[in-house]
Structure 1
Amino acid sequence: MSDSASLAAVRLVAIPRLAAAGRWRVEAMRSLCEPMLLWFTAGQGRITVAGATRGYSARTAIFIPAGTMHGFEVGPQSRGTAVFFTRGGPFLLPLQPQHLPVRDPAAQQELSRMLGTIAREIETRPLAWERALMHQAGLLGIWLERQVAQRGAEPQDASRRLVARYTMLLEREFRRGLGVGHFAGELGVTPTHLSRCCRQTCGRPASALLHDRVLFEARRMLAETDLPVHRIAESLGFTSPAYFTRAFGHLTGQSPSAFRRAS
């Protein structure tokens, strides 16, 4: 990819391709440095955003702000497009995650047309294509704004608010080797209450979200870097490489070295 393409306002990836290098890349809890819009055109599954799990089906648009912890299922029938916005671009996007079943055929067609235009600009790169992408990204932002306004604000109960705060805190501090008790204390609740709320919103205890986030980062570093295993263990807050190897093997069924070779 050229420098100009990498700096374009928006880029598109087919949703099945997101999981091409392993389903863990989309299913495990992680965050991205870019805002992302997922537009599902076929299939169904579950998606967890900021600690809240919901179902998705065809014609569902899901917006995930940068730095928001999330993971989702990509089944064999899942189709659609992931839209990545350049962070800090001159366009307005929602500040909060949005889960939008798009029922209006006109709105569906409008989004499909915009994505098709963006794809053609990226593929053919005509005169001023990068500037055109900037405007197209702005139009996507307007489409999102209108969909959110039509749907109205979704009520957030106390459990969802607490779990969203937990995922934000976890995203900032998961490398420190801290336990759920620390995060619960920071949030002013007991570990038991925090886990109960996590089970209510996503069907998993607080510890599972923490382990999943650390495990994703371990896999990513093993697959994408040449760092020695002991350096990866240290960077993720493990007290020793042996402890990291045991924990990784318990959760994945592979040693870190075997996973790296397979990747």
Structure 2
Amino acid sequence: MHLPLADRHLYVLGGPSAHVGFLNCERISERSHIHDWSVEAHYHEGLAQLFVFAKGQVGARLDYAPESITGPAMVWLPALCSHAFEYETGMEGWVITIPTGDLSQLSTEAPYLDHWINRPQLLVGEDHITCLTEAIDITRRIETAHCEALEDQNLALKSLFCLLLVLLNRGLRDNRALQDGNTQRKRYLVHEFQCLVENPATSSHSVAEFAKALSVTSTHLSRTVKAATGRTASEILSDQMLLKAKRMLAFSDQSISDIAFALGFSSPSYFSRFFSARASETPRDFRKRIRSQ
């Protein structure tokens, strides 16, 4: 694996001291003649970057993690964060570079940025299309202001850049809310599944039937249960069915055949095979042993 290099001249115009204005804004296409739309792994000392992709495909490695990005998207890269890009030829996008000293001042004024600003971030997807569309419009305004030698240029650039940070912060906050909502829904689904399984009146052995009762697909139910409990839905069903069978064998006088049918088995022999495989003894031997104790 090639170690990332500290960039000095290839991917950004100089180090922090070369940035006499508040920020530097470039179109990715403006320096494509240098990197031929392919940027090797590197990092920047004293400089943070915000990439805004309007459209096109980008293959990226952000802090060594591979990402496939389709614009519109925003990528935040703090100083010293390794990154590499494979751009689609002719794609539309910008890179905004800001010295970390100026960024630290902004963070002091906006402490709510602290939870993400020192780590690479990616904002992409239909859930954020309004936010990303607005970010592209603001970036175009930054590009225009960056070319204007006006007395209030730095104030304009700072204000517009702060708006980009606000949009990114809100998008990341919505991401967390969406993830939290998904987590809550998954926990609720697992809880409802377990309640159905543990219901004494339940005699189904089929994950599909439970999924139908919970208005989800069998695949979704199985994956959710596995992720939450570490066990498959089928394993939980089998364990619960075995527990019910043991209770009925131990505490009721029903025949083994009646217990088999009460638990939803198609035949006593099928029930015996199921029980023996999991309890390592037949239903009859289990009943005899328990009652002798």
What is the TM-score when the length of structure 1 is the normalising length? 0.52
2:106 aligned with 1:91:
yes
Q: CA-atom RMSD, angstroms? A: 2.8
- Which residue of structure 1 lines up, in the alignment, with residue 66 of structure 2? 53
Are the equivalent residues in 2 in contact too, given 1:38–1:63 (CA < 8 A)? yes
- Structure 2 CA distance, aligned partners of 1:21 and 1:130? 28
One-letter amino acid of the structure 2 residue matched with residue 42 of structure 1? K
C-alpha distance in 2 between matches for 1:29 and 1:5:
22
| Other-structure match for 1:73 | 86
SS state of the match for residue 73, structure 1? Answer: strand
Following TM superposition, by how much is the alpha carbon of 1:91 offset from its aligned partner in structure 2, in angstroms? 1.8
Q: Distance in 1 between matches of 2:44 and 2:164?
A: 19
Task: Write the distance in 1 (CA, Å) between the matches of 2:151 and 2:39.
Answer: 39
Larger RCO (alpha carbons 8 Å, 6+ apart): 1
**Count of equivalent residues:** 153
Structure 1 alignment gaps of length 5 or more: 156-263
Question: Is the Cα contact below 8 Å between 1:8 and 1:86 reproduced in 2?
Answer: no
**Shift, 1:29, TM fit:** 1.1
User: Given the alignment of the two structures, is residue 31 of structure 1 paired with residue 55 of structure 2, yes or no?
Assistant: no
Q: For 1:10-29, list aligned pairs within 5 A.
A: 10-23=23-36, 26-29=38-41
Identity %: 19
Q: Which runs of 4+ in 1 moved over 4 A?
A: none
Instruction: Please tell me the residue identity of whatever aligns with 2:39.
Output: E
Which residue of structure 2 aligns with residue 130 of structure 1? Answer: 154
Aligned amino acid, residue 32 of structure 1: H
Amino acid at match of 1:15: I
Deviation at 1:102, TM superposition (A): 4.5
Q: Deviations over 1:53-99 (max 9, x none)?
A: 01011212111111101101022142211111222112235111111
Aligned residue number for residue 115 of structure 1: 139
Q: Indicate how the Cα distance of structure 1 residues 117 and 149 shifts in structure 2: closer, same or farther if over 3 A, else same.
A: same
Q: Distance in 2 between matches of 1:4 and 1:48?
A: 27
- Using the TM superposition, give the Cα deviation of residue 4 of structure 1 relative to its aligned residue in structure 2, in angstroms: 11
Structure whose CA Rg is larger: 2
1:103-127: CA deviation from partner (whole Å, max 9, x where unpaired): 3443133212211221222222333
Q: Is the 8 A contact 2:59 2:66 kept in 1?
A: yes
Q: Could you tell me whether the CA contact under 8 Å between 2:72 and 2:129 is conserved in 1? A: no
* Paired AA for residue 49 in structure 1: L
In 2, the alpha carbon distance for the partners of 1:21 and 1:7 equals 23
Q: Give the aligned partner of residue 275 of structure 2.
A: none
SS at match of 1:139: helix
**How far apart, in 1, do the equivalents of 2:73 and 2:167 lie?**
14
Q: Quote the Cα distance in structure 2 between the aligned partners of 1:18 and 1:100.
A: 24
Aligned to 1:161: none
Q: Cα distance, 1:139 vs. partner? A: 1.9
Report SS of the residue matched to 2:33.
coil
Unaligned runs of at least 5 residues, structure 2: 1-12, 108-112, 181-293
CA shift, 1:39, in A, is 1.4
Cα deviations by residue, 1:160-205 (Å, 9 ceiling, x for unpaired): xxxxxxxxxxxxxxxxxxxxxxxxxxxxxxxxxxxxxxxxxxxxxx
CA distance in 1, matches of 2:25, 2:155: 16
Q: Which structure 2 residues correspond to residues 238-253 of structure 1 after superposition, within 5 A?
A: none
Are the aligned partners of 2:27 and 2:94 in contact in 1 as well (CA < 8 Å)?
yes
Q: Verify the 8 A CA contact 1:9 1:137 in the aligned structure 2.
A: no
1:145 has 2:169 as partner = yes
**1:118-173 alpha-carbon deviations (Å, 9 max, x no partner):** 12222223331112212222222212111111112989xxxxxxxxxxxxxxxxxx
- The secondary structure found in structure 2 opposite 1:30 is strand
Quick check: 1:16–1:78 contact (8 Å CA) kept in 2? yes
Q: Which amino acid aligns with 1:30?
A: H
